[in-house]
Amino acid sequence: MRLSSLFFSILRPFFLSVIYVLLLLTPSAFADIRVPDAVVTPIAEDAGTKQHAFVASPLDLAAYDYVEEEFMISGTANTYKKSGRWRSDGEWGIQISQADLPYATRLLVRRPANPEKFNGTVVIEWFNNTAFMDVDVIWAQSHQELLREGYVWIGVSAQTLGVTALKTWDRERYGDLRLNSDGLSYDIFSQVAQAVRRQPETVLGGLTATTVLGVGESQSAIRLTTYVNAFQEPALQVYDGILLYSRFALSAPLKNGISMLSPSKVFIRADNRLKVLQLETEQDVFMFLFRLARQDDTEYLRTWEIPGASHYDDYGVSNLLPQYQRDWPQLGSIELVCKNSLNKVPQHYVVNAALSGLAKWASDGQAPAHSTRIEYKNLKVSRDANGNALGGIRLPDLEAAIATHNYANYGVIGSGNWFVNAFACPFLGNTVPFDQAKLNALYPTHQDYVSKFTQAADAALEAGFLLPADHKEAIAGAQAADIP
């Protein structure tokens, strides 16, 4: 035996002991964390004064052979505090601050009535609370894909603002709900996925889930960024994939609110083993500074960027407004008056593709495509001759453009409800149609336009950024358009 080998064999137990002690002393993201089972009980459709759930779908779900049910989920959850310093790398430690605090909140479930239609994937959406109430943003964008492909969708009232609004809207229906801190939201989100797997007879009407995805948009995606980085091990146990749609550069704290200070930019941790797809619009990348948190794709991370798209858009607003005006009649008198027309880039097509791609990735390991990044130079977006951004996912609306798409918008002072306009319009972007002379120059004939549009749609379909049904719908729209 060589002297070096003999030396190592003698000291090996010592080295292993030192490493073990260091591991014990290192702040752990997972120490003492457990995910207890919650109790899930149905809320009757006529339980309250309003006779239906808040944000019940305005669609005729029965026509799609779907049912909508509402539940109360209750149990105990922990709040947490940081363990060690949180840096931009996302490798964060946590420890329990308060243990086993009681809560009760609600779930809204939309599922196929026929078990044979269920595709095996459950999409659990963290309701967005930016408007001080539950908003089913991702359902609004992707309901067509969810319904046609047989997904189960579940909305979770994970935060205090949403629960407060529910109790205000119908105290008889939601009076038993209690959620005193957003710090409980992370455990609640884990418990919902666990209930899907362990209580399918109640939550899913007997359906069996093979894949469970967690999704959130904007403020919800910011909280899910913290969930991925700080609650990685519990997330691995209960979720198969996470969609972060329109997250900013920053993250959410372990309690209420959004952290604007430390750290100011957040990456997905390098040792993450949960499949994560980040979907970012042009406005998210630049106005909301996601570009500061850009990182390379990995085996477990994909980032897609949509040039021309605003944080939210005309399509989403047109789907959300009817149900909120129904549930809050006072919203019916509020007129949205923006300086510019709302953005019409069909980002919902890419959201559909992202959900489908993430589901396949999580279920069979088929990773989504890589997206190029939106180009910029000297802190400005690089644009083509039509004023549209270069790089990113090339939808046919940019490759065969008939308008300039961007995120420049703001409310008109003195028109409509000034507060709503000032708050909403900057998030809704802008689309400016080309004049007739420019359309004639770009597309001498209608067939010229359709051919160029179809070529771009085919490329997006082949790349995986456009699903077959949306590809067909988009081309049909181009064929019907009066261009030039």
In the 8-state DSSP scheme, what is residue 76?
E
Residues 192 and 329 both lie in one domain: no
CA dist., res. 479 & res. 467, Å (int): 18
Concatenating the DSSP letter of every residue in 390-412 gives: PBS---HHHHT-SEEEE----BP
Mean pLDDT, the chain, as a whole number?
A: 91
- Structural domain includes residue 279: no
Domain boundary, last residue among 224, 248, 273: 273
Q: Which of 247, 199, 209 is nearest to 227 (CA)?
A: 247
Position 257 scores a pLDDT of 72
What are 186-228's pLDDT values in tens digits?
999 999 999 999 999 999 999 999 999 999 999 999 999 999 9
Residues 226 and 341 both lie in one domain: no
What are 326-347's pLDDT values in tens digits?
998 877 777 788 999 999 999 9
> Which range of residues forms the domain containing residue 226?
38-273
CA dist., res. 210 & res. 197, Å (int): 9
CA dist., res. 243 & res. 213, Å (int): 7
- Structural domain includes residue 301: no
Residues 323 and 416 both lie in one domain: yes
CB 143 within 8 A of CB 150: no
Is pLDDT at 88 greater than 70 in this prediction?
Answer: yes
Is pLDDT at 319 greater than 80 in this prediction?
Answer: yes
CB 453 within 8 A of CB 388: no
Residues 77 and 185 both lie in one domain: yes
Residues 6+ apart with CB under 8 A from 91: 29, 229, 269, 270, 271
- Structural domain includes residue 339: yes
Residues 67 and 193 both lie in one domain: yes
Residues 369 and 482 both lie in one domain: yes
Position 261 scores a pLDDT of 55
Position 25 scores a pLDDT of 38
- Structural domain includes residue 258: yes
Residues 269 and 320 both lie in one domain: no
Residues 251 and 138 both lie in one domain: yes
User: What is the domain count for the chain?
Assistant: 2
Residues 135 and 244 both lie in one domain: yes
Q: Which of 424, 402, 407, 427 is nearest to 415 (CA)?
A: 424
Is pLDDT at 172 greater than 80 in this prediction?
Answer: yes
Domain boundary, last residue among 221, 255, 273: 273
Is pLDDT at 323 greater than 50 in this prediction?
Answer: yes
Which residues, in sequence order, are bridge partners of residue 82?
Answer: 94
Number of H helices, E strands in the chain: 16, 13
Confidence band, pLDDT 50/70/90 cuts, at residue 236: confident
Total-model pTM: 0.92
Q: What torsion, rounded to 10 degrees, do the Cα atoms 421, 423, 428, 429 define?
A: 90
- Structural domain includes residue 118: yes
Residues 323 and 228 both lie in one domain: no
- Structural domain includes residue 14: no
- Structural domain includes residue 33: no
- Structural domain includes residue 24: no
Greatest Cα pair distance, the chain, in angstroms, is 88
Domain boundary, last residue among 273, 303, 329: 273
CB atoms under 10 Å from CB of 60, counted, come to 8
Residues 319 and 265 both lie in one domain: no
Residues 251 and 319 both lie in one domain: no
